[in-house]
Amino acid sequence: MRWSGWLAVLILSALLAPAVPQQTPSDVAFGGEYFFRLRASAGGLSPEERAAALQVRFTLVFTRLLAQGKPLTVQVHSLGAVKSISVAGVPFVTVTAADAEANQMTVEQLANVWANNLDQGLRRILSESVR
């Protein structure tokens, strides 16, 4: 086969190769507040599954904050190459290298952004709930 023949085979192979499925981003929102968008899988969970798990954690956080009178604290913890964010003492979300890459940031930068969004948004929800 000549070069043009090989080139045609390579182009056809690329066109017929199965596409890599893209993950569907999933927004994390609660109480009318938008917090962040999950764009990567982690811990064997898709972005949608991670967002659903966070809804359960939001309920746990609000139980601690309102029913038990715990103070609102949002903290970033280092766990090797990843960061973990806790809210009112509840381990809330892990920020991985895949999350950071999908958001074009470092793990530390993204963890700080998400923690800040959680702190500000939860404070707004809490101020509305005590009125």
Listed by start position, the domains of the chain span 24-129
What's the CA gap between 58 and 30, in Å, rounded?
Answer: 7
What's the CA gap between 30 and 35, in Å, rounded?
Answer: 8
Nearest Cα residue to 129 out of 85, 51, 72, 73 = 72
Residue range 103-123: average pLDDT? 97
Q: Angle at the Cα of 86 (from 82 to 24), degrees rounded to 5?
A: 60
Distances, alpha carbon 43 to alpha carbons 40, 49, 62, 82, 129, in Å: 10, 10, 24, 12, 33
DSSP for 5-70, written as a single string: HHHHHHHHHHHHSPPPPPPPPEEEEETTEEEEEE-S-BTTB-HHHHHHHHHHHHHHHHIIIIIS-P
pLDDT 10s digits, 11-35:
444 444 444 345 689 999 999 999 9
Residues counted in the chain: 131
Quote the tokens at residue 115: 């923690």
pLDDT 10s digits, 31-81:
999 999 999 999 999 999 999 999 999 999 988 888 888 899 999 999 999
- pTM for the whole structure: 0.80
Give the pLDDT score at 130: 65
Quote the tokens at residue 127: 């101020």
